[in-house]
Structure 1
Amino acid sequence: MQSTSKYICATILIAAIVAIANANSSRTCYSCSGADCGRTTKSVTVQCFDSLDYCVTIFDKFNVVQKGCSINLPIELRQRCDANTAECHKCNTDRCNNLGQANFMCLECDSEKNADCANNPTAIAATRCSAPTAPNSYCYVKSANNVVSRGCATNIADQESCLKDANCMLCLAGDITNCNSVNIGDMSAAQRTLALNSKFLFNLQGKK
């Protein structure tokens, strides 16, 4: 009887140690669902229960619909990850699920630091943008005071600021590869107007 009690106690102790070890080694992921994923002032993290679990971001095209630990995903969303689609970003380090959809890539540069940004943008490799909080995912190119800058416009404030600036243009990353590689500094007013009406999109309520 005494040996049985010792065995039970030992089993409980081992289980407790394993649980603590799992808790200490498990991932910490950004977490949100639905509209909360679009709130820039709300950044929530969760610790995954299983040490083998990983962080995920789920997209509807380019729009973030859920972040968290994979084990907590609804079945219909987890299927996107199981199928390795572009609408699921999986990663295995703490708080790593902060990137946008795999095809949300823009040139990111500043001509003060890299002359190619203004004169030879096609020589610069596009980089993956961070997860957007706006409904649409845009790249931008801006010219101001003889300085050209290019990058990702991931929140509504940045997108609206660009819309109000005659020397800033937005484009949808999913439509054209390296869409913000246009040389706006060399454009005339007429050419810029043509670019605005064709290659670039200025309606934030447009294609999603």
Structure 2
Amino acid sequence: MSSAAPPGRGPKVRAAVLAATVDELSEHGYAALTVEKVARRAGVHKTTVYRRWPDRDVLIADALAESVAADLPIPDTGAIDSDLSSLARSLVVWVKSPGGRAILAVMLSDAVGLARPPDQIRHVFRDRIRGALPVVERAIGRGELPTGTNAAELLKTMVAPIYLRALITGEPLTESTADSAARLALTAAHAGLFESE
């Protein structure tokens, strides 16, 4: 007669493996990540990992999606200026976190000529932009932004200065950086620069 797994073991193992994946990516990058290293770091056997995730890229995509969802909440303050500021500040904090560094490591691997991550991994951030679209859509509904404002373009404009500093210039990322990025995107939106044709 086989005994059942202790209660909570499944979710605890999953959480440990996903956290180990993020930490490995953050510290060693996409190309160096192996299921064996993740399993060792999580304190489980590699077959435990393979039972849940058939290959490393599925594991990476799951770990990054979980990290982004947990660390980048979608604000709903009732005003677009504070929503954008809150979203940008969360992004700045996240970019400096292990999860943020892990995503950057994956995205940079293609830029520096390493193996290109599959689209399922690259879509994690695009999915998060889609998840934040209601912030802009609610503002349009409240009359704070012009009707027809392209929410995705507004959000991309807001995150661009943050990623420029994180990936290119290496300048410090602060709350002031976040607030400036939010104001820039909001000013452009009020000027009608994101209105769909």
Verify same fold: TM over 0.5.
no
Q: Which has more radius of gyration?
A: 1
Q: Which has the higher contact order (CA 8 A, sep 6+)?
A: 2
* Structure with more of its chain in strand, by fraction: 1
TM-score (norm 2): 0.33
TM-score (norm 1): 0.31
* Structure with more of its chain in helix, by fraction: 2
